[in-house]
Amino acid sequence: MSFLPIPLPIVGDIASRLNGREKPRGDDTTSSAPAPVLGTVASRWRELHGENSWKGLLDPLDPHLRSSIISYGEMVQAAYDAFNTERRSPHCGACFYGYEDLLAGVGVPHHGNNYEVTKFIYATSSLPLPSSFLLLPLPSLPDVWSRESNWMGYVAVATDEGAAALGRRDIVVAWRGTVQNMEWVNDLDFAPVPAAPVLGSAASQHRLAVVHHGFLSMYTSSNKSSEFTKTSARDQVVKEVRRLVELYKDEEVSITICGHSLGRRSTHFQT
């Protein structure tokens, strides 16, 4: 089995490289013709996912790389679009859809052919967080689905059809971000704390590393009384990814972790 974990805030990395790229020398009104694209996404997937730090793919932007970025961006957007933000609903903070109809339900049905959702990710917090982090039903509502947890994203794996098109069995972890931009300033109320809980064996080598307390709490907190967060979001993802890696151990497997905003921070924790 070939195994390659792929962190994807690659979009942010690529964007920063594009914004900081040098302008070509000579007449600015002229540009060289783009190099011909050779191969397919299936044959180039390692290159497209940063094996060579996207050398030669950014200026001009490689068509296959562009397609890949958009594809993963749509999977992250699905986590936003499927999230119930109506506080008057007893299902506020949950997902509108089930595993089988999530991708089609949010309007990206082509992903439904290439990927199968296998696990929902739920998070809670041991801290009192603003609703930009945890959006819960109104306290006056009876019979709510949960009063301490939020749906935070999902794990999906390439179908047989998708694996053939992608060149490997891709496992995707898609994290949802914060949902109320006006409350983002509240994030500043949380001081940085030691990153040891997410560094594992590397903690001793990075004693000064710190992370945002709110992000860390969402990622590592559990609630034994909750049906959805008896284990932390981190442990939910690790368990499911391990299961899928074992299931497809005789195939070439990749892991792609993608997210935006709060979700982007979660991708860093996992990489």
- Count H helices and E strands in the chain, helices first: 10, 7
CA distance 177 to 214: 13
- Angle, vertex CA 155, rays to CA 266 and CA 199, nearest 5: 35
Is the distance from CB of 258 to CB of 74 less than 8 angstroms?
no
**CATH T-level topology, domain 3-19+40-270:** Rossmann fold (3.40.50)
What's the longest Cα–Cα distance across the chain?
69
Rounded to an integer, the average pLDDT of 82-92 is: 96
Q: Which residues neighbour 11 within 8 Å (Cβ) at sequence distance 6 or greater?
A: 69, 72, 73, 258
CA distance 51 to 87: 43
Rounded to an integer, the average pLDDT of 165-193 is: 74
102-157 per-position pLDDT tens digit: 999 998 877 878 999 999 999 998 776 656 568 899 999 999 999 999 999 999 99
* 77 CB-side CA count, 13 A: 12
Question: Alpha carbon of 100 to those of 55, 160, 233: distances in Å?
Answer: 37, 16, 21
Query: How sure is the predictor about 266, in pLDDT bands with cuts at 50, 70 and 90?
Result: very low
Residue 75 predicted with pLDDT over 90: yes
Q: Which two tokens stand for residue 174?
A: 């898609």
| Burial of 96 from C-beta contacts in 10 A (0-12 / 13-18 / 19+) | middle
Q: Which two tokens stand for residue 21?
A: 């790229």
The residue among 164, 169, 163 whose CA lies nearest residue 249 is 169
Instruction: Give the lowest-confidence range in 74-88, 92-106, 223-237, 251-265.
Output: 251-265
Task: Decide which of 240 and 110 is more confident.
Answer: 240
- Boundaries of every domain in the chain: 3-19+40-270
Query: How sure is the predictor about 258, in pLDDT bands with cuts at 50, 70 and 90?
Result: very high
Torsion of CA 174, 195, 192, 208, to 10 degrees: -140
CA distance 193 to 186: 17
- Angle, vertex CA 16, rays to CA 15 and CA 22, nearest 5: 105
185-227 per-position pLDDT tens digit: 444 446 788 888 878 888 888 888 888 777 788 889 999 999 9
Task: Decide which of 245 and 16 is more confident.
Answer: 245
CA distance 236 to 219: 10
CA distance 151 to 229: 10
Residue 267 predicted with pLDDT over 70: no
pLDDT at residue 15, as a whole number: 46
pLDDT at residue 55, as a whole number: 95
pLDDT at residue 128, as a whole number: 66
Question: pTM of this prediction?
Answer: 0.80
Q: Which two tokens stand for residue 256?
A: 């792609």
pLDDT at residue 192, as a whole number: 84
CA distance 198 to 200: 6
pLDDT at residue 201, as a whole number: 83
17-56 per-position pLDDT tens digit: 545 544 444 444 444 444 444 468 899 999 999 999 999 9
Residue 99 predicted with pLDDT over 50: yes
CA distance 263 to 153: 9
pLDDT at residue 39, as a whole number: 63
